[in-house]
A and B are shown apart, each in its own frame.
Chain A
Amino acid sequence: DVVMTQSPLSLPVTLGQPASISCRSSLSLGTYFSWFHQRPGQSPRRLIYDVSERDSGVPDRFSGSGSGTDFTLKISRVEAEDVGVYYCMQGTHWPWTFGQGTKVEIK
């Protein structure tokens, strides 16, 4: 299976400041790469698909980039509602696989 490795696993952030999460794949991927956000007790929500496309209703402070084996999610200015766990996911090779998750919390 394709292994997805996220860093950091914990990310304390200051409100209004930028944040960045990296994801590395054990195999080169096509464009089927997504980012998800999950708040405690809630279902995951997809934020980004096809590496850099924002899902409907996702604020433009979220952006995705990358190619091959290295991908990045950036939040330009963190807001309180952005806390939770962020997961990267590859949808190129079945079984699709997620990263371990990055927990974002406010300092």
Chain B
Amino acid sequence: EVQLVESGGGLVQPGGSLRLSCAASEFIFRTYWMYWARQAPGKGLEWVAKINEDGTDKYYVDSVKGRFTISRDNGKNSLYLQMNSLRVEDTAVYYCARSGGVVWGQGTLVTVSS
């Protein structure tokens, strides 16, 4: 079964950093664009970043540009999101997803609070 499993969430103070990971299995990871999306508590969905198959093209939503970095390791079938200078408004469940949202992970909660 195709699966995405996120990890790395937690409680962090404003201005702090976190690195999220997403482990992919049961599909040829290196052949797919991969995505990070988020959902603030009780709110809607928002795409955060995307990365192409070999990691050379990366795109971000304006609100995270310069603070978040998406990356991947095709040898480890893993996707990452390095989040720096975190703000209270970054509090959300973060999901990794494949190819336009056909597959989603279970999500990992990031809470930014003092």
Contacts and interface: CB of A to CB of B under 8 A. Distances in A.
Interface of A: 1, 32, 34, 36, 38, 43-46, 49, 55, 87, 89, 91, 94-101
Given A44-B101, A55-B102, A87 B45 contact: yes
A56 B105 CA distance: 17
Interface string B78-114: 0000000000000000010000111011110000000
26 contacts: A1-B62, A36-B45, A36-B101, A38-B45, A43-B104, A43-B105, A43-B106, A44-B45, A44-B104, A45-B104, A46-B100, A46-B101, A49-B100, A87-B45, A89-B45, A94-B59, A95-B46, A95-B47, A95-B60, A95-B61, A95-B62, A97-B46, A97-B47, A98-B45, A98-B46, A99-B44
A100 B107 CA distance: 20
Contacts, number: 47
A96 B104 contact: no
Interface of B: 44-47, 50, 59-62, 95, 100-102, 104-107
Contacts of A38: 45
A34 B44 CA distance: 15
Contacts of B60: 95
Given A34-B100, A95-B61, A98-B44, 15 more contacts: A36-B45, A36-B101, A38-B45, A43-B104, A43-B105, A43-B106, A44-B45, A44-B101, A44-B104, A87-B44, A94-B50, A95-B60, A95-B62, A97-B47, A98-B47
B101 A34 contact: yes
A44 B104 CA distance: 7
